[in-house]
Every structure is written in structure tokens, then in C-alpha cells.
């Protein structure tokens, strides 16, 4: 049998990131052949993936960023099973490398992203290898992009919440962009303005308003009018441009944008939070 040295184990660990004992076992079972040992560890990851297919990967790392020209932003979510793994520096580094690849290639869907390579290895294989290394279900569950004249990204400390906001102009004030991205994080708007609020949400709010008025004993003939009044309150609380600015409640986001830069508005936004 080929003698396996500590140096051999350390070298394989450096290549794969797997644990010392896993690397030693892989080398022993493959007579010191590094390539076969790497394949062995990958297969182990695939076996773990199969075993954990029905497990919940509800923890994870949420990251967002923008391209150098600021015209394209992306948010990715790399899920795992435990908070301990989610906070691991190596796990976060893998998530960051996936985000960087999405930005470099301006990738718009998750399936395409999984097929892209980092150092010659597909992201799909990298995710599978992480399962073998960590022993948890790991999943790239989310990719969302925003394209605009300028996109701003915000990641809340802890990597559990991230936002993207697209603007119709190049920003003259960098802080303003961050303020709006943080507004989206804090206030979780349902749409940019009332005009693009989803129809199903509007209908639901009207029905809720009617039922509330009915429970208060209001006449049936008045229910529609009362519900529409409540809907306007909903628009103010839940549509981004009409929300009160969290840093200065005397003005709305729309007013804040106009005060900083003429004709500036939001064209798109995305928000993802791990519940």
C-alpha cells in the first residue's frame, strides 16, 4: 500500500477544502492517486446531496452587488441548513465568488449561472463539493437582477437581507442611492408606485377594507368608498415612492429624490430576506 504522508493530505485539503480525515481516507482508498482522491471526494458530495435532498436548507448567505459601470446588479442566495455554516468565512467566500461570476457575466437566470465556471469548475459542481465538505444540504436558491442607468446594492449586516435599486439617471449623490436601498430593506415596499402595484394585492386590500368597515357596522352602500380610502393609506405605507422617508418623515421618497436631483426616480427594485 502506498504510504500517505501529512504533506499529501495537506495538499489534497488545499485543493478540495475537504476535512483532513476525509482527505486522508480518500488518498488511502485510492493508493495516493490525487486525481482519483478528488473524484472520490466529489462523489461523496454527490451522495450527501442525494441523502439531503429532502432536508430544509433555510439558513444561508444573501449577497448583492453591482458591475463596475453600475448598470447591472444581482442578488444571490446560497442556502445551508444551520446558522453556524451560514456564518462560516469559507461559505461566505463561496457565495461571494458565485455573485462575482454572476456580475462578470451579467447572468440573468439561475440555471445559466449554475453552468458557469470558477477556476475550471462549474458552480453546480462547486455547490455539490460544498455539501461533501460541510456535510449539509447546500443550494443556490435565488438569483435576481436589476438593470438601469444606475443600480445600487445594499447588504444588511449578517448577510440575511439584501436589496437592489435601479434609477433612471446616473446619481450625483452616492449616499442618496444607499438611503433608498436601505429604505427598501427597512420598509419592504410591494411596488415602486401605486400604478404598478399588482392587481391581486389591490383587490385583496379592497376586500380587507370592506370587511373591516362591515365589522365596524358601516352601511353597505359606504363600504366601497371607505375601502378606497383605506387603499390610499395602503399605497402611502407600502409603495416605495409614496412611503415616508425613514431618515426624514417630513418628506416622501419621491420628494426626497426630487430634492436631490431633478426628474430622478426609481425604475426597479428587488429585496430578499431570509425569514
Residue 161 lies in a domain: yes
- Write the pLDDT tens digit of every residue in 155-201: 999 999 999 999 999 999 999 999 999 999 999 999 999 999 999 99
- Write the pLDDT tens digit of every residue in 94-133: 999 999 999 999 999 999 999 999 999 999 999 988 887 8
Do 78 and 13 reside in the same domain of the chain?
no
DSSP code string of 5-47: PHHHHHHHHHHH---HHHHHHHHHHTTT-HHHHHHHHHHHHHH
Residue 78: half-sphere exposure toward Cβ, Cα within 13 Å: 30
Confidence of residue 71 (pLDDT cuts 50, 70, 90): very high
Do 167 and 200 reside in the same domain of the chain?
no
Percent of the chain with pLDDT over 70: 93
Do 124 and 233 reside in the same domain of the chain?
no
CATH number of the domain bearing residue 86: 3.30.479.20
CA dist 21 → 9, 32, 77, 111, 132 (Å): 8, 14, 30, 33, 13
Is pLDDT at 21 greater than 60 in this prediction?
A: yes
Domain with 46, as residue range(s), is: 6-51
The C-alpha angle 252, 160, 116, rounded to 5 degrees, equals 110
Q: For residues 82 and 182, is the Cβ–Cβ distance under 8 A?
A: no
Q: What is the mean pLDDT of the chain?
A: 90
Boundary (domain end) residue, out of 156, 187, 218: 187
End-to-end Cα, the chain, rounded Å: 51
Do 116 and 227 reside in the same domain of the chain?
no
CA dist 190 → 36, 193, 271 (Å): 51, 9, 10
Do 102 and 155 reside in the same domain of the chain?
yes
Residue 269 lies in a domain: no
Boundary (domain end) residue, out of 187, 222, 246: 187
- Write the pLDDT tens digit of every residue in 185-241: 999 999 999 999 999 999 998 888 888 888 888 888 888 888 888 889 999 999 999
Do 65 and 150 reside in the same domain of the chain?
yes
Amino acid at each position: 500500500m502506498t504510504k500517505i504522508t501529512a504533506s499529501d493530505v495537506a495538499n489534497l485539503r488545499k485543493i478540495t477544502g475537504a476535512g483532513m480525515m476525509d482527505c486522508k481516507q480518500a488518498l488511502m482508498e485510492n493508493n495516493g492517486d490525487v486525481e482519483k482522491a478528488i473524484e472520490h471526494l466529489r462523489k461523496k458530495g454527490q451522495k450527501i446531496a442525494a441523502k439531503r435532498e429532502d432536508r430544509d436548507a433555510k439558513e444561508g448567505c444573501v449577497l448583492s452587488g453591482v458591475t463596475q459601470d453600475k448598470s447591472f446588479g444581482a442578488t444571490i442566495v446560497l442556502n445551508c441548513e444551520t446558522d453556524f455554516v451560514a456564518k462560516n468565512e469559507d461559505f461566505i467566500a463561496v457565495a461571494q465568488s458565485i455573485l462575482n461570476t454572476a456580475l462578470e457575466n451579467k447572468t440573468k437566470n439561475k440555471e445559466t449561472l449554475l453552468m458557469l465556471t470558477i477556476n475550471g469548475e462549474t458552480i453546480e459542481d462547486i455547490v455539490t463539493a460544498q455539501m461533501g465538505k460541510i456535510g449539509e444540504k447546500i443550494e443556490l436558491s435565488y438569483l435576481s437582477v436589476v438593470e438601469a442607468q444606475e443600480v445600487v446594492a445594499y447588504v444588511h449586516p449578517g448577510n440575511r437581507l439584501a436589496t437592489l435599486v435601479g434609477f433612471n439617471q446616473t446619481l450625483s449623490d452616492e449616499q442618496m442611492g444607499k438611503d433608498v436601498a436601505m429604505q427598501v430593506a427597512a420598509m419592504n415596499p410591494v411596488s415602486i408606485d401605486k400604478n404598478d402595484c399588482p392587481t391581486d394585492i389591490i383587490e385583496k386590500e379592497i376586500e380587507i377594507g370592506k370587511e373591516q368597515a362591515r365589522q365596524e357596522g358601516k352601511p353597505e352602500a359606504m363600504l366601497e368608498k371607505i375601502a378606497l380610502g383605506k387603499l390610499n393609506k395602503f399605497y402611502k405605507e407600502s409603495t416605495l415612492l409614496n412611503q415616508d422617508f425613514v431618515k426624514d418623515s417630513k418628506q416622501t421618497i419621491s420628494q426626497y429624490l426630487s430634492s436631490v436631483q431633478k426628474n430622478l426616480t426609481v425604475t426597479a427594485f428587488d429585496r430578499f430576506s431570509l425569514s
